[in-house]
Structure 1
């Protein structure tokens, strides 16, 4: 697994494009694994702060309980919403990340992340905070007539797939 720092260090141009796409909208979608093994899809906010990808949830949220029990997740952001007159090429693409969530309970570690995002200490209020051990990052976009998928995995670097 890898931290965001690993993505940024091994493929800086890719990481910059992913970050631009990822941060173009506040809301993301996360998939977690329910107790019975079926998927759960939820809205979430996620941020790249320093060397790590952070996300969290309200106290006792089902997605947090899912991640505490089974840390696997897939995160999609931003949702690309096109109007009737828009082309898929007008978007910077969309980002998908997957990996394992690592719960962070140390307030001293959480405080700098909250401060960097402009949140006050009241955001602690028993919320759940996680960082990501990243297994895969994919940026998908349209370039000319082709759909282009740039894929990064730890230890494998960056790969490009194109579909006409």
Structure 2
């Protein structure tokens, strides 16, 4: 698994575009696994800063129970409607495993639980130029950055 810093070093322009997509809004969607293995989606806030992807969870939340049982997680950037005119910047996703960390020195909730995500994969999807194809850029652990298109 990789830190965000490793992805930034391996594919800096891609990492910057992904970070921008996640910064486009406050609320992200995360997926965790319930005890029976079915997926659970929840809203969350997330930060990509100082070479790490971090997030917090409220004590006794269902998603906290999920990640303590199974640390695998997937996160989707805020979804913004494409503009009527101009370029749609796309959606970003990442997946990996959460690792519990100490509370941040500023802004921490007294009963919050904090995590960094050790990243296994990242994807950025957007409409190409001309707007007749989809572009999928991805980074995978052990593979690195790739770009593919689909019509």
> Which residue is 2:76 aligned to?
76
- Give deviations 1:98-155, integer Å, cap 9, x for gaps: 0101111x34xx32xxx3xxx2xxx331201110010000000001211000010122
Normalising to structure 1: TM-score of the pair?
A: 0.85
> Which residue is 2:34 aligned to?
34
Moved over 4 A (4+): none
> Which residue is 1:161 aligned to?
148
| RMSD, matched Cα | 1.5
Matched, 1:133 2:118: yes
Normalising to structure 2: TM-score of the pair?
A: 0.92
Q: Which has the higher helix share?
A: 1
Aligned residues: 149
CA contact (8 A) 1:68 1:103 kept: no
Alpha-carbon shift at residue 22 of structure 1 (Å)? 1.2
Alpha-carbon shift at residue 80 of structure 1 (Å)? 2.8
* Unmatched tracts of structure 1, length 5 or more: none
CA contact (8 A) 1:2 1:154 kept: yes
* Unmatched tracts of structure 2, length 5 or more: none
